[in-house]
């Protein structure tokens, strides 16, 4: 019996040792895996540094080369302009002087010839001669009373001198250069380019919304920013890549430009991954002064590549990959409406007045929803859009308790009560945005309804049965077949 116990004890010890060894091995394996993950993260960090340095070196060389070429072209062009102006001055200033010189030379030559003729007459007249006979001189000058009289008349006419401009009235060409411009250029060129460890704007948080992402960013302070003391409001640029694109092949499109530090990026595919990046626009006044770059308004623009936009913005933030797992807003099914575009677009198919509700109660506190009238005629007071705690079955329910209804004529009805504040009438192209916010009181929600640049806000009671999980339906009611409503 003792031998059996000893053998059993040894087996237990052996099993315990084996178990402890396996635990130690598993621990070491997990530790190795964690070290490998850290090494991968470190390699990614190292790769980010080296790749950003390589890209930045390339940008420095290319940018400075372009600037150098630009400066040479500008200086060369200016040199040619100045030389051309000098040639123009030469032509305009010397031409009258040359004409005057020609006239003066001709007058001098004529006067000299007349003088020589007079000297000949004088020398011959002093000798003995018989009137009417040729002089014995070799000059063959006929000395007669008529020739002497003619000479005297010609000499008497030589009493006018050509007009020669005074030196004070003649052009004296000079070239002046603004001494401050080289100093100004030197100062500007010394500020051309800046090395930053990170882009001056970084994405700080991204929150999932139904078929959308709420992106927030902020500027990172630096010594340069502090010294500048820039009080002007900056404008930011947010870009998004196509769905599920790899970072190295990502093609970005600008989805927002403006002064806000957040943006709701809508109409995204659920589960798809998007790369996001942000930057702020270069100062447009400085860009205009330096003749190098410019910027644009706060609206979506056509798809663009990285190089097409870099001239207008500072350094981009680190790319951030995000996705939303929340299904986008979608309409429910109805015999009176045709639903397309994966549930986003609903088009009326008949003339009966009917309500179309969302596929589910999707609007929650902290969410916003936009309803766009893609097409439609002039609506009536019993047509429009609503949010409700329940799926509405008939047009009469639009003005019942538990519903906020915005009619096509701009009237707002809350829980059946018509409010005095009116919004613009709804028509083709109108966009109604509803923002639902929680309040300090859990039994109320703050609902903002906006369209046509006007907004109304109500603190809306939450029914007790929905207090634990407040979710709202969105609805539309129109009677004509021309109406089509998109949700996003």
Residues in the chain, total? 488
CA–CA separation, 73 and 79 (whole Å): 10
Q: Which pLDDT belongs to residue 338?
A: 95
Q: Which pLDDT belongs to residue 372?
A: 96
Q: Which pLDDT belongs to residue 174?
A: 87
Q: How far does the chain reach from its first CA to its final CA, in angstroms?
A: 80
Q: Per residue in 356-370, is it b (16+ CB within 10 Å) or e — as a string?
A: bbbeebbbbbebbbb
Of 261, 292, 296, nearest in space to 278 by CA: 261
CA–CA separation, 298 and 276 (whole Å): 17
In the numeric block, which tokens belong to residue 322?
Answer: 């995000």
- Positions of the chain with pLDDT under 70: 1-3, 125-142, 221-232, 283-312
Span 16-56, pLDDT tens digits: 888 888 989 999 999 999 999 999 889 988 988 898 889 88
HEC per residue, the chain: CHHHHHHHHHHHHHHHHHHHHHHHHHHHHHHHHHHHHHHHHHHHHHHHHHHHHHHHHHHHHHHHHHHHHHHHHHHHHHHHHHHHHHHHHHHHHHHHHHHHHHHHHHHHHHHHHHHHHHHHHHHHHCCCCCCCCCCCCCCCCCCCHHHHHHHHHHHHHCCCCCCCCCHHHCCCCCCCCCCHHHHHHHHHHHCCCCCCCCCCEEEEEEEEECCEEEEEEEECCCHHHHHHCCCCCCCEEEEEECCCCCHHHCCEEEEEEECCCEEEECCCCCCCCEEEEEEEECCHHHHHHHCCCCCCCCCCCCECCHHHHHHHECCCCCCEEECCCCCCCCECCCCCEEEECCCCEEEECCCCCEEEEECCCCECCCCEEEEEEEECCCCCCCCEEEEECCCCCCHHHHHCCCEEEEECCCCEEECCEECCCCCCCCCCCCEEEEEEEECCCCCEEEEEEEECCEEEEEEEECCHHHCCCCCEEEEEEECCCCCEEEEC
Span 316-328, pLDDT tens digits: 899 999 999 999 9
Edge-to-edge strand list for the sheet holding 337-340? 337-340, 345-348, 484-487, 368-375, 431-438, 444-451, 454-461
Decide which of 3.50.50.60, 2.60.120.920, 3.40.50.800, 3.40.190.10 is the CATH code for 337-487: 2.60.120.920
Q: Which residues contact 120 (CB under 8 A, 6 or more apart)?
A: 139, 141
CA–CA separation, 197 and 53 (whole Å): 10
Which CATH homologous superfamily contains domain 201-226+233-322? Immunoglobulins (2.60.40.10)
In the numeric block, which tokens belong to residue 182?
Answer: 């080289």
> Hey, what long-range contacts does 231-236 have (CB within 8 A, 24 or more apart)?
232/283, 233/259, 234/259, 234/280, 234/281, 235/259, 235/280, 235/281, 235/295, 235/298, 236/201, 236/260, 236/261, 236/278, 236/279, 236/280, 236/281
Q: Which residues contact 306 (CB under 8 A, 6 or more apart)?
A: 252
Could you give the count of Cα atoms lying within 13 Å of 13 in the half-sphere of its Cβ? 6
Q: With beta carbons less than 8 A apart as the criterion, state whether 244 and 189 touch.
A: no
Residue at token pair 């200033």: 93
Q: Which pLDDT belongs to residue 365?
A: 94
Q: Which pLDDT belongs to residue 299?
A: 35
């Amino acid at each position: 019996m003792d031998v059996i116990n000893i053998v059993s004890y040894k087996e237990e010890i052996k099993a315990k040792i084996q178990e402890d060894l396996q635990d130690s091995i598993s621990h070491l394996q997990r530790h190795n895996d964690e070290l490998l993950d850290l090494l991968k993260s470190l390699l990614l960090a190292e790769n980010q540094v080296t790749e950003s340095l390589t890209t930045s070196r390339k940008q420095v060389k290319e940018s400075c080369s372009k600037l150098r070429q630009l400066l040479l072209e500008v200086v060369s062009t200016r040199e040619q302009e100045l030389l051309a102006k000098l040639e123009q001055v030469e032509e305009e200033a010397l031409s009258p002087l040359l004409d005057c010189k020609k006239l003066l030379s001709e007058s001098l030559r004529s006067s000299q010839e007349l003088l020589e003729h007079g000297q000949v007459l004088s020398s011959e007249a002093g000798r003995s001669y018989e009137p009417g006979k040729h002089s014995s001189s070799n000059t063959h000058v006929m000395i007669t009373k008529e020739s002497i009289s003619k000479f005297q008349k010609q000499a008497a006419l030589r009493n006018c001198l050509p007009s020669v401009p005074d030196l004070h009235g003649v052009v004296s060409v000079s070239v002046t250069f603004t001494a401050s411009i080289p100093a100004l250029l030197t100062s500007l060129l010394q500020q051309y380019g800046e090395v930053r460890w990170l882009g001056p704007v970084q994405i700080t948080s991204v929150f999932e919304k139904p078929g959308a992402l709420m992106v927030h960013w902020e500027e990172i302070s630096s010594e340069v920013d502090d010294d500048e003391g820039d009080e002007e409001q900056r404008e930011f640029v947010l870009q998004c890549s196509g769905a599920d694109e790899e970072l190295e092949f990502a093609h970005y499109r600008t989805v927002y430009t403006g002064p806000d530090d957040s943006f709701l990026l809508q109409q995204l595919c659920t589960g798809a991954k998007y790369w996001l990046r942000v930057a702020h626009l270069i100062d447009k006044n400085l860009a205009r002064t330096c003749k190098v770059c410019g910027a644009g308004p706060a609206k979506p623009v056509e798809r663009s590549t990285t190089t097409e936009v870099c001239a207008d913005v500072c350094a981009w933030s680190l790319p951030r990959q995000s996705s939303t797992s929340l299904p986008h807003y979608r309409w429910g099914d109805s015999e009176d409406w045709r639903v397309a575009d994966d549930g986003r677009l609903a088009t009326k198919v008949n003339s009966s007045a009917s309500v179309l509700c969302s596929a589910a109660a999707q609007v929650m506190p902290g969410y916003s929803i936009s309803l766009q009238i893609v097409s439609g005629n002039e609506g009536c007071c019993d047509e429009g859009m609503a949010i409700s705690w329940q799926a509405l079955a008939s047009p009469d329910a639009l003005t019942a308790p538990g519903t906020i209804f915005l009619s096509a004529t701009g009237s707002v009805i809350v829980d059946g009560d018509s409010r005095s504040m009116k919004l613009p009438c709804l028509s083709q192209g109108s966009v109604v945005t509803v923002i639902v916010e929680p309040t300090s009181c859990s039994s109320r929600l703050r609902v903002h309804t906006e369209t046509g640049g006007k907004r109304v806000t109500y603190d809306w009671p939450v029914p007790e049965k929905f207090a634990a999980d407040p979710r709202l339906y969105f609805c539309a009611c129109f009677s004509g077949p021309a109406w089509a409503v998109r949700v996003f």
